[in-house]
């Protein structure tokens, strides 16, 4: 018995089983992938925040999040130059950055 048989007899459409994960095709979590989440800022010594780099992050994205200005990435770079190294484009997931106050 198919769906068309219900319509022919004038009966209501059968209720579909609920999707327990609420995942839909096109969702970033459809294939058991976790959606990216921004970690909560953690206060560091001196009242500064720390940030853990996630995949896909850049200094300009982090600056935009904290300062509202992507061009303020240099401030974060200067505060974390020992961790980042000489190339500000090469940040790695898992690195911990200190976010200076504005």
pLDDT digits (tens, 9 = 90+) for 37-70: 544 455 555 667 899 999 999 999 999 999 999 9
Of the candidates 62, 78, 81, the residue with the CA atom closest to the CA atom of residue 70: 62
> Which of these ranges, 14-18, 26-30, 69-73, has the smallest mean pLDDT?
26-30
% of the chain exceeding 70 in pLDDT: 54
% of the chain exceeding 90 in pLDDT: 50
Is pLDDT above 60 for 19?
no
Q: Where are the domains of the chain?
A: 49-99
Is pLDDT above 70 for 83?
yes
Of the candidates 50, 61, 48, 49, the residue with the CA atom closest to the CA atom of residue 88: 61
Mean pLDDT value across residues 26-31: 54
Cα distance between residue 47 and residue 36, in whole Å: 27
Q: State the architecture of 49-99 in CATH terms.
A: Roll (3.10)
DSSP designation for 18: P
């Amino acid at each position: 018995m198919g769906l068309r048989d219900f319509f022919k007899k004038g009966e209501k459409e059968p209720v579909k089983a609920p999707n327990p994960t609420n995942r839909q095709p096109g969702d970033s979590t459809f294939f058991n992938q976790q959606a990216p989440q921004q970690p909560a800022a953690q206060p560091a010594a001196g009242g500064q925040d720390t940030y853990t780099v996630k995949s896909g992050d850049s200094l300009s994205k982090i600056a935009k999040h904290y300062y509202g200005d992507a061009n303020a990435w240099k401030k974060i770079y200067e505060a974390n130059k020992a961790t980042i190294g000489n190339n500000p484009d090469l940040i790695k997931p898992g690195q911990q950055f200190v976010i200076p106050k504005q």
